[in-house]
Amino acid sequence: MGKQSKEGKPFAVAADAVDPEKVPARQLRTGARIPAIGLGTFGSDRVPGEEIAAAVIGAAEVGYRHFDCAAVYGNEHLIGRSLKAVMDGGVRREDLWITSKLWNDKHGEADVVPACEKSLDDLQLDYLDLYLVHWPFPNFHPPHCDATSRSKDAKPYNHDEYMKTWRQMEKLVDRGLVKHIGTSNMTVPKLELVLRDARVKPAAEELELHPHFQQPAMFDFLVDKGIVPIGYSPIGSPARPDRDKTLDDTVDIEDPVIVRIASRLEVHPAVVCVKWAIQRGQIPIPMSTNRRNYLANIRAAVSAPLTKADMDEIAKIDKNCRLIKGHVFLWKDGQTWEALWDVDGKITPP
């Protein structure tokens, strides 16, 4: 039994917990190891922060040690209390992996360090294991907005500006406030420039990855460059915000291949998505506040692997179906969301 935290719910390792030491880990370019599954903490504008903060404790009790946070999720101050409870309950800081992200309105040179310090303060930590530039655009949107929302001075990707932000990210490493820095929602041509110009190379890239959106070229590029892929929306984000839903979207957990494997294994199709992700080599960060589900997801990391035939079949159901299209970050009237993703292999001109 862990002891009662001053902040509220006590932490206690659950009787049915997965042993965190048995959860596979991946090695980053520094040699550090990151657990091969993490808990997502974005409430998709639907799930209250308190519920997510409670899930952080519950997930730690069943064996999670990796938590994917971000300032824009608006809940880091609540998650900080949970992390304190977990550490008060006996989990060592060095056994946790905490990621946070710089929001798009904090790319300015004078804003990066204070934004990181605010996340550290909210999360009640002395350092982050990984700090990501959340999006490559300095464009932002209010919570609960719809897909037509635009920031009024929205801009395209500008590499010189991005590198000014990155220099500040490097400073965070120099100052010991973060152990690793990384990117999110990038493309191959943007990352090629960052790799060319960075003094501290990105250790990880967080990107959308699920069976219907496998991004094989980007995935191979990352592996080749020693950048660990962290896969968001690994289950196909069934409860994503309405602004991220379109009529053409497909549903991974209803795919006949996924459903067939799930029924053979007697698990929810979501678990097959998580298993596939870990076995393929990305780090899935499924979000759940439902104990049965987050326990099933971490069990997926330690139970018998999918067969080669399963993996081969899932490789064939890629539909190139991006769900988090990012409309709200577009910078020009009349553009379609593809402009954000450099689909012809070159950075979309301004």
Note the residues at the interface with ligand NAP (CB under 6 A): 40-42, 44, 68, 134, 184-185, 206, 232-240, 268, 270-271, 285-290, 293, 296-297, 324
Tokens of 143: 């919570």
Residue (170 or 206) nearer to ligand NAP, CB: 206
CB-nearest residue to ligand NAP: 40
Residue (206 or 255) nearer to ligand NAP, CB: 206
Q: How far apart are CA 213 and CA 240, in angstroms?
A: 15
Provide, rounded to whole angstroms, the least separation between the CB of residue 290 and ligand NAP.
Answer: 4
Provide, rounded to whole angstroms, the least separation between the CB of residue 271 and ligand NAP.
Answer: 5
Q: How far apart are CA 43 and CA 245, in angstroms?
A: 16
Residue (2 or 73) nearer to ligand NAP, CB: 73
Provide, rounded to whole angstroms, the least separation between the CB of residue 1 and ligand NAP.
Answer: 26
Residue (114 or 238) nearer to ligand NAP, CB: 238
Provide, rounded to whole angstroms, the least separation between the CB of residue 183 and ligand NAP.
Answer: 10
Just list the catalytic residues. Answer: 73
Provide, rounded to whole angstroms, the least separation between the CB of residue 42 and ligand NAP.
Answer: 3
Residue (81 or 212) nearer to ligand NAP, CB: 212
